[in-house]
Amino acid sequence: MYEDFHAKDPWSGEELHCRWTANIVAIATRHADAVDIRFDVNGRSVWIAMPCTAWVEQKQRTGHVITDALAAQAAGRYLKKAIETGYDNGREMYTMSVAEVLEQVDAVLHEAGHTSNLPYLVPLDDAQPQV
């Protein structure tokens, strides 16, 4: 679905290969109340910041949680939409609102039918820093 996809930039015509690389709780890394979803986009890192309050809202409105896989799929869908509509301007980080997170989560669940149907997240070898 959205853990590894291609999208075409309407401005440049460039084909972008986007691959999920990590979910990182931003509380520790940048002192933000968010979960950062990292994608590799043609060799550059792009982060999608999702506010933690979206997890609370999802649980309150549906009784279900946003899993790591669901968060990655929702962020990937958001990134694909941003690229294909020309919203992507090469930024390193995009910040989603709670409403945007819930909208993308609903769309992914509608497409997949259930979280058990989501693809497994397989970390890429190049996602880990070399020591």
Give the model confidence (pLDDT) of 44-99 as tens digits. 999 999 999 999 999 999 999 999 999 999 999 999 999 999 876 778 999 999 99
Strand order across the beta sheet in which 44-51 lies: 4-8, 15-25, 34-41, 44-51, 93-95
pLDDT at 29 (0 to 100): 75
Token pair of 43 as six digits: 């060799």
Distance CA 11, CA 106 (A): 29
Confidence of residue 26 (pLDDT cuts 50, 70, 90): confident
Rg (alpha carbons) of the chain, rounded to whole number: 14
For the chain, the 3-state helix, strand and coil shares in percent, each to the nearest 5, are 40, 25, 35
Task: Say if residue 31's pLDDT is above 90.
Answer: no
pLDDT at 121 (0 to 100): 85
Average pLDDT of the chain is: 90
